[in-house]
Amino acid sequence: DPMLAGKRTALVLMAAAILVPSTQAADPAVAAEDRQRVEAVARISPSVVAVVTGGGSGVVISEDGYALTNYHVVGGQGPALRCGLPDGRLYDAVVVGLDRIGDVALIKLLPREPGGKFPFATMGDSDTVKVGDWSLALGNPFLLATDFTPTVTFGMVSGVRRYQYPERGMFEYTDCIQSDTSINPGNSGGPLFNIKGELIGINGRGSFDKRGRVNSGVGYAISINQIKNFMGHLKAGLQVDHASLGAVVASSSEEEGSRPRVLVSGLIPSDAERRGLQLGDELVRFAGRPVNTVNQFKNVLGLYPKGWRVPLTVRREREGGGAENRQMLVRLMG
């Protein structure tokens, strides 16, 4: 039937117009975002490390070869490592500093020529990261980068200030960034960038339980601001020690439906006790952040090494009734 054939032809042409839109009609803003993403990847890729010894990833953060990766990538591998860069060359490297609790390691790549300099990533401000921001993960999943060219994945920040409980007494991820940007075994220690190509985190853990260690779209990156706080300890090769307040806290509410409170339930001799912290005090703010749950407290506490001084605000019940806020500056212990 010629009429039926004509209708079929018209439908095919309509479908083609829908499925293959004209490039001339592309939104200029979308095209600009595409260019920004491609340019960012080209700019940051040279700094991404394939940690051959340990089978993971990393990222160079200075022209003299300092690089970040996970503790679980290099822990137990010995002080000497072999690392590859996207220039196709293999480099000797050494372990400089380890943070077992925070799952971070600082290593140093050694130049092949005297005075050689390395391409490096610019560190951003992870406190400005918001849910819905685009993110880029680069690394060596499944050891695919046999020529040391990193695999690139693109996605969205799914959560910020997440808390992940420790595993085997280590790898406590506090204040971390959750992303649906695909990471898989081998991505560990690799960088998470924002769309501008700034380093905002180091990829480490993922919720793989239901997928046999394969990406499930829920990955966690250690925030770069937390790592900055420990950088002096790492570069000095010191044993990194995360902080404790010297107090045990617990969530409590007086009655059903009342607001959650975080109360001091235990104390040991510490600077916090000397400054006046008492059993039963309610934590209101810690290091400048409001505290409503134990997780929020742990999230902030994990950002600091021992010895840092931070402001603390507590609410204390008066003997005659009512309550008052008290502020103190406490030195955190190990």
**Do 218 and 167 contact (CB within 8 A), yes or no?**
no
Distance between CA 275 and CA 278 in Å, rounded? 9
- Of 276, 109, 73, 284, the C-alpha closest to 183 is 73
Of the residues 99, 103, 175, 281, only one is catalytic, namely 103
Q: Which residues contact 20 (CB under 8 A, 6 or more apart)?
A: none
Distance between CA 66 and CA 100 in Å, rounded? 18
Of the residues 47, 188, 223, 281, only one is catalytic, namely 188
Q: What is the number of alpha carbons within 13 Å of residue 125 lying toward its C-beta? A: 2
**Do 174 and 163 contact (CB within 8 A), yes or no?**
yes
Residue 244 designated active-site:
no
Residue 72 designated active-site:
yes
Distance between CA 160 and CA 175 in Å, rounded? 7
**Do 199 and 323 contact (CB within 8 A), yes or no?**
no
Residue 126 designated active-site:
no
**Do 245 and 332 contact (CB within 8 A), yes or no?**
yes
How many other CB atoms are found less than 10 A from the CB of residue 277? 22
Of the residues 45, 57, 72, 233, only one is catalytic, namely 72
Distances (CA, A) of 62 to 37, 68, 170, 191, 287: 23, 10, 27, 14, 29
Strands (DSSP E) contained in the chain are 48-51, 56-60, 66-69, 80-84, 90-99, 104-109, 134-139, 151-164, 173-179, 191-194, 199-206, 219-223, 247-252, 261-267, 282-286, 289-290, 309-317, 323-331
Residue in this structure with the two tokens 């008052």, named with its chain if needed: 324
Residue 324 three-state SS: strand
**First-to-last CA distance in the chain?**
85
Just list the catalytic residues: 72, 103, 188
